[in-house]
Structure 1
Amino acid sequence: MSRDWLTIHEGSAPLVIGLPHTGTDIPDAVEARMTSPWLARKDADWWVDRLYDFAVDMGATTVRTAMSRSLIDVNRDPSGASLYPGMTTTGLCPTETFDGEPLYRPGQEPDEAEIAERRATWFDPYHAALQAQIERLRTGGPVVLYDAHSIRSVVPRLFDGELPQFNIGDNDGATCAPELTQAVEAACAVSGSSLVVNGRFKGGWTTRRYGRPENGVHAIQMELADRGYILDPAGPVSPDNWPSPYEPARAEEMRQHLRRVLTACIAFAETAR
């Protein structure tokens, strides 16, 4: 299959940005088995690739998949083990949305053979690309892997109440040096918006897989509540109000905050070098 779905921009700064959930592509044969094209794309990290598009001008490397997380979630443990034992989450090839709605018509869910094929076709190449970019930059010293995400502010099935604006995850300090987490937290605090470190989101499989600070790879996840850059409906979403369109004017303030965050990531890595 063509790799048109995988976009890699190589930069020279010691920063790799993963964009695992911004894609919405689904093969026609799979979409035909799903309950709704809208549901299949409902939980995308809407517009995050556009929100961070300034990063390439900062010298960052970006790795993005265009495939929908409903097809294959490249930020889940391929073994099927839950990243958050005892808590509601979605799997490698999800069969329901964050709100618990079924993604497939009865009896049309992917079996083990299909899951293995999807992994080989999309999951493995995405991670091979991430690994290659990390190794390319690590020849010059420590590197930061920044995994970029967003989610609706209110998803009762996943968490109580309204999510903080900035959700920073380093898996309880395991995936990067504390100085990096502190620098990212300080950059977010300037905004005056709510933030948390290792709250509901501590970092997905990407952060946990690559974060090896003892080997010079410092991984951190940023989960934004998307009210910070688009109109986020307060109640249940529907095809009539979701996804909200990207509004450059509304998003500009958030982009300035994120520029500070990425600047802090680069400064940390350059100081470590």
Structure 2
Amino acid sequence: MERAAGAACLTGDCPSRRHGVDRRSIAHHSEHLPSSFNRRGVHQPMTASEPVQPDAFGFAPAFAVDEPAAHTLPFVFNTGHSGAVYPPDFIAASRLDALALRRSEDAYVERLFAPVVELGAPLLRANFPRAFLDVNREPYELDPRMFDGRLPPFANTRSMRVAGGLGTVPRVVADGQEIYARRLPVAEATARIEGLYKPYHRALRSLIQRTARAHGCCMLIDCHSMPSSSLGRDPEMKADVVLGDRYGTACAPALIDGFEAAFRARGFRVVRNKPYAGGFITEHYGEPNLDRHALQIEVNRGLYMNEVSLATTPGFPALVGALRAVIVEVSRDLAEVVPRQIAAE
């Protein structure tokens, strides 16, 4: 596909035009919300950065790191599925309208977790949408039915995620609708992986390494949202939050225990690992034996947004405040055991 000179932000608030990849976004202290939000939970423009030239795909930039004034917490937060900037040529190539394309977004998750920056942890966030490229997959997890031409021999074409149409370059949006009107050139997948996926993971890896050097360990929190319909009809699965640690392999028990206790103390219904145990990021970066821990947090979208119109609801600012309080509590409690006890578990 031809490259676009610009890209459309379908939320009406385009963070990619405010922050460069290394932009320092420092929010001042407030009781519940960072300064980038008003009291109704509406995102407000932050200090403007120098203009960033769009890349070959039209993103300006494709992702950003919001840095704290001081990196005081041994945490890194990641929102790889919250991007809402859609290249015009991608929209033109799709058989779906803009609202349907957005069904795959973890909409507004970067705003839900924005307070982590003022609390002392960096936040890495994608601006490109998950429907365009999914960084929570292997680098070459691709469906051969999507492409004209032969995929590289090292591509993983047989995973369950590929079978479901949700590979690195997705074939469908989250509700199963086909994205593209026709097959893509293999070079298109390669370009997205080399130009977006790999730089994103280099940035994430760098943040993890920097945190581990500074604090003796790193706790990566991979932040997502889940459709309420994905939880099924089983009353025991009706969760507000799902915590995924790859069934105990991606982080020390103290980390997931701390988050579960903090969420439950505030009235949230919490389930572990079902139906979301954590994807590629949790599995790949969770190395407890190296003092590097990864935990996936899925928040029920029904708590903060209308899942049909994708508009935020009055519950949004309260959820932002609750998430901030959870992180404060977990950080305080873990400070007594990090890194010595975490590393030993």
TM-score bucket of the superposed structures, by smaller chain: 0.7 to 0.9
> Are 2:232 and 1:160 aligned?
yes
Asked whether the 8 Å contact 1:16–1:60 carries over to 2, the reply is: yes
What displacement does 1:191 show? 2.5
* Structure 2 match to 1:253: 318
CA distance in 2, matches of 1:210, 1:176: 10
Residues 63/270 of structure 1: CA separation in 2 closer, same or farther (3 Å cut): farther
Asked whether the 8 Å contact 1:89–1:98 carries over to 2, the reply is: no
Asked whether the 8 Å contact 1:169–1:220 carries over to 2, the reply is: yes
CA distance in 1, matches of 2:338, 2:62: 34
Residues 85/48 of structure 1: CA separation in 2 closer, same or farther (3 Å cut): closer
Asked whether the 8 Å contact 2:139–2:198 carries over to 1, the reply is: no
Deviations 1:18-50 (A, max 9, x none): 010111223222221101222222221111111
1:53 to 99, 110, 114: 114
The answer to which of 44-53 and 160-169 deviates more is 160-169
CA distance in 1, matches of 2:63, 2:161: 30
Structure 1 runs not aligned, ≥5 long: 233-240
Identity between Structure 1 and Structure 2 (%): 28
Asked whether the 8 Å contact 1:163–1:225 carries over to 2, the reply is: no
Deviations 1:242-270 (A, max 9, x none): 21x224x4223322331233224434266
> Are 2:38 and 1:38 aligned?
no
1:5 to 43, 62, 66: 62
Q: TM-score, normalised by structure 2?
A: 0.69
1:22 to 73, 82, 105: 82
Deviations 1:166-209 (A, max 9, x none): 00000011110011111111111112232101111001111111
CA distance in 2, matches of 1:176, 1:87: 28
* Structure 2 match to 1:235: none
**1:204-243 matched pairs, under 5 angstroms:** 204-232=279-307, 241-243=308-310
CA distance in 2, matches of 1:87, 1:256: 38
Report the secondary structure of 1:42's partner residue.
helix
Which residue identity is paired with 2:312?
Y
Report the secondary structure of 1:193's partner residue.
coil
Structure 2 runs not aligned, ≥5 long: 1-54, 142-155, 340-345
Asked whether the 8 Å contact 2:81–2:106 carries over to 1, the reply is: yes
CA distance in 1, matches of 2:159, 2:247: 13
Which residue identity is paired with 2:87?
P
1:179 to 230, 247, 254: 254
* Structure 1 match to 2:337: 271
Report the secondary structure of 2:200's partner residue.
helix
Equivalenced residue count is: 258
Q: Which has the higher contact order (CA 8 A, sep 6+)?
A: 1
Structure label with greater radius of gyration? 2
Deviations 1:73-95 (A, max 9, x none): 01112232577679946111111
Deviations 1:90-143 (A, max 9, x none): 1111111222111111x2x33432111101111111111111111111112111
